[in-house]
Every structure is written in structure tokens, then in C-alpha cells.
């Protein structure tokens, strides 16, 4: 009877040790991935001298385009939609006939619905809205993720 209890205790200890080892290995792997990925984007937003003030974010997203608009759709009509952004503000995104819309596959204006997670890229308008050149529907939710939203450098 006593040897069976000892055997169970040893088995539990081995399972706990194996789980701890797996956890440690996973954490070590994640740190190595984060540091190698971080280097790929380290210069994002830094820009190069002699480029007339154009930073790399503008070069990445296209000439004359503002920052991406990302958040949840709170209203929409045939030619625009409103996004509640992660900072709590809202932004109107205007759609044109040449706006590219995708959902990990090609999409249309009717695919943009209230509650959808979107990211819109386009030109800033003087009234504060954005005329979209591309809208991505779907993507990861950031509500429950640790960390904050970074900003591109100037």
C-alpha cells in the first residue's frame, strides 16, 4: 500500500517536472522568436535622411496615405463605415469604386458589417475622415492581449 502511494507521488512529481520543463522551453523559444522578429521591424517608422521627411511607414503604406485605421465597425452605409478605434475614438472611412476590400479572400462593400474587426488604409481627408484605398476585414482581436499599441517613429 505504501509503495503504491510512493509510486503515485513519484509519477505526479515527474508530470509536474515535465510540464515545468515544457513551459520553460516554450518561454525560451518565444523569447528567441521575439528578439529575432523585433530586429526585422526595428527600423519601421524611422525613415532615412534626405527623403524629404517621408518616414518608412508612409513609404510602406504608400505615398500620401495616412496611418491605418484599425478597430471595430460601429456603423456602415453604402459608401462609408465608422470604426471605433482601440483608443476609444471613432473614425469615418470613405469607400470609393477603387477601394480594395479583402477578407483573407476578395470581398465587397457589403461584407463590411457592424461588429466586424477591420483595418483600413487610405488618404486622410481635411474633415478627419479617411478615403480608403484598401480595407482588410477580420484579423486578431486586441481586447484581451497584453501590451499596448505602438506608434511609428517620425
Strands (E), the chain: 69-76, 80-85, 90-94, 100-102, 117-124, 130-137
**How sure is the predictor about 84, in pLDDT bands with cuts at 50, 70 and 90?**
very high
CATH code of residue 93:
2.40.50.140
Query: For residue 50, is it within any domain?
Result: no
Looking at the structure, do residues 27 and 74 belong to the same domain, yes or no? no
Query: For residue 146, is it within any domain?
Result: no
Looking at the structure, do residues 78 and 130 belong to the same domain, yes or no? yes
Looking at the structure, do residues 120 and 81 belong to the same domain, yes or no? yes
Q: What is the pLDDT of residues 25-53, one digit of tens each?
A: 666 666 665 544 444 444 444 444 444 44
Looking at the structure, do residues 70 and 32 belong to the same domain, yes or no? no
Total domains present in the chain: 2
Looking at the structure, do residues 123 and 75 belong to the same domain, yes or no? yes
Looking at the structure, do residues 133 and 77 belong to the same domain, yes or no? yes
Spatial distance between the Cα atoms of 35 and 42, rounded to a whole number of angstroms: 10
Looking at the structure, do residues 33 and 88 belong to the same domain, yes or no? no
Q: 117 near 139, Cβ under 8 Å? A: yes
Looking at the structure, do residues 70 and 33 belong to the same domain, yes or no? no
Instruction: Phi first, then psi: give them for residue 125, nearest 5 degrees.
Output: -100, 160
Looking at the structure, do residues 131 and 89 belong to the same domain, yes or no? yes
Looking at the structure, do residues 22 and 80 belong to the same domain, yes or no? no
Looking at the structure, do residues 33 and 76 belong to the same domain, yes or no? no
Query: For residue 107, is it within any domain?
Result: yes
**How sure is the predictor about 54, in pLDDT bands with cuts at 50, 70 and 90?**
very low
Looking at the structure, do residues 19 and 79 belong to the same domain, yes or no? no
Host domain of residue 18: 1-37
Q: What is the pLDDT of residues 91-133, one digit of tens each?
A: 999 999 999 888 766 788 888 888 888 888 899 999 999 999 8
Amino acid at each position: 500500500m505504501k509503495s503504491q502511494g510512493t509510486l503515485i507521488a513519484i509519477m505526479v512529481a515527474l508530470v509536474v517536472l515535465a510540464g515545468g520543463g515544457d513551459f520553460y522551453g516554450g518561454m525560451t523559444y518565444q523569447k528567441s522568436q521575439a528578439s529575432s522578429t523585433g530586429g526585422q521591424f526595428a527600423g519601421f517608422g524611422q525613415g532615412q535622411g534626405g527623403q524629404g521627411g517621408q518616414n518608412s511607414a508612409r513609404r510602406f503604406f504608400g505615398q500620401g496615405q495616412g496611418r491605418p485605421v484599425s478597430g471595430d465597425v460601429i456603423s456602415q452605409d453604402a459608401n462609408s463605415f465608422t470604426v471605433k478605434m482601440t483608443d476609444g475614438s471613432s473614425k469615418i472611412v470613405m469607400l470609393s469604386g477603387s477601394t480594395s476590400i479583402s477578407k483573407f479572400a476578395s470581398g465587397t462593400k457589403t461584407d463590411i458589417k457592424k461588429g466586424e474587426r477591420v483595418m483600413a488604409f487610405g488618404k486622410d481627408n481635411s474633415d478627419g475622415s479617411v478615403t480608403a484605398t484598401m480595407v482588410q476585414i477580420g484579423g486578431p482581436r486586441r481586447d484581451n492581449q497584453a501590451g499596448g499599441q505602438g506608434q511609428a517613429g517620425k
